[in-house]
Amino acid sequence: MTLAEAEPARRSEASQAWRRFRANKMALTGLALIILLIAMAIFADAFAPYNPIDDIFRGMRGVGPSREHPLGFDHLGRDLLSRVIYGTRVALIVGLASSGLAVLIGVAIGAISGYFGGWIDTVLSRIVDTLMAFPVLALLIVLAALLGPSLTTTVIVIGITGWARFARVVRADVMSLKEEDFVMAARATGVKDARIIWRHILPNVLGPVIVLASLGIGSIIILESALSFLGLGVRPPTPSWGGTLADGRAFITRYPHIAIFPGIMIVITVLAFNFIGDGLRDALDPRQKD
């Protein structure tokens, strides 16, 4: 708080937030890691020494790490380093796209629910309660089995099951915001509801949504890898961390090294997103600290 008060008033909110974020070493480390991972996902061809699917080394099944192959080979004789690097793509695509989808649905439903109230709110709130009361992984498993496992399915099912938290936060904020003078004024001058929500209310609830979304990406990445691990996420031979962990589990007594590195990558990625989320929370919403 003292830092915020010391800042000149003319500085914009965004630049104040960035100053606070920048002061947080953990958050910056997380950001640097994520930028690195995104680069690795986009330029996987350049980072990976071999093709993760087609380069199968004969007679090298389950061979451990060596100088040319620092992570060793998987149970089919594919280079594990290359598979782990390509796996970054799946993790980041699912993490970011599912969060985006969940935010879109959650903000829309939360805004409608909070702004209009009445029976719409009652119905939507019961749906939110229902989703929150459901063991997410169980729902994901059922939906993934229903739609057939694939990358698109994974993104969609995680997105459509994960929006309830956003809806709840946005609804509460919208309910208090719609009583504010500036909203009343807009309504009195005849501005349409849709425009009031879009121009006057939503910009004010963005902060908590961003914080919640960034803190949620980590757990989405864990969910994705759990799904792939159970054989209900991204399908082999497409390299994904969860899928490689499933291979590692199947061959754990013979080739235990397979299961180590995909897990380390998941932990690093999830930690990085959590650090960014903590940093954003402190930067955007300095009142709310744990």
Is there binding between residue 160 and other proteins (CB under 8 A)?
no
Is there binding between residue 133 and other proteins (CB under 8 A)?
yes
Peptide bond before 8: cis, by omega within 30 degrees of 0? no
3-state secondary structure of 79: strand
Q: Applying CB under 8 A, which of residues 45, 129, 180, 193 lies at the interface with other proteins?
A: 129
Query: Which residues ranging from 98 to 127 are in contact with other proteins (CB under 8 A)?
Result: 126-127
How near is the Cβ of 81 to other proteins at its closest, in Å? 18
How near is the Cβ of 208 to other proteins at its closest, in Å? 18
Contact string (CB under 8 A) for other proteins, positions 203-242, x = contact? ---------------xx--x--xx--xx------------
Q: If you write DSSP's letter for every residue of 134-192 in order, what string do you get? A: S-HHHHHHHHHHHH-SSHHHHHHHHHHHS-HHHHHHHHHHHHHHTTSHHHHHHHHTT--
How near is the Cβ of 14 to other proteins at its closest, in Å? 27
Count residues binding other proteins (CB under 8 A).
41
Residue closer to other proteins (CB basis): 92 or 266:
266
Query: What's the rounded Cα separation, in Å, for the pair 224 and 231?
Result: 11
3-state secondary structure of 215: helix
Please say whether the beta carbons of 218 and 277 come within 8 A: yes
DSSP structure class, residue 235: P
CA–CA–CA angle 88, 226, 270 (5° rounding): 50
End-to-end Cα spacing for the chain: 15
Is there binding between residue 163 and other proteins (CB under 8 A)?
no
Please report how many Cα atoms fall inside a 13 Å half-sphere around the Cα of residue 118, on the Cβ side: 4
Query: Which residues ranging from 249 to 288 are in contact with other proteins (CB under 8 A)?
Result: 249, 252-253, 256, 259-260, 262-263, 266-267, 270-271, 274-275
How near is the Cβ of 5 to other proteins at its closest, in Å? 20
Question: Which one-letter amino acid corresponds to residue 247?
Answer: D
Residue closer to other proteins (CB basis): 191 or 260:
260
- The footprint of other proteins (CB under 8 A) covers 126-127, 129-130, 132-138, 141-143, 145-146, 148, 218-219, 222, 225-226, 229-230, 245, 248-249, 252-253, 256, 259-260, 262-263, 266-267, 270-271, 274-275, 290
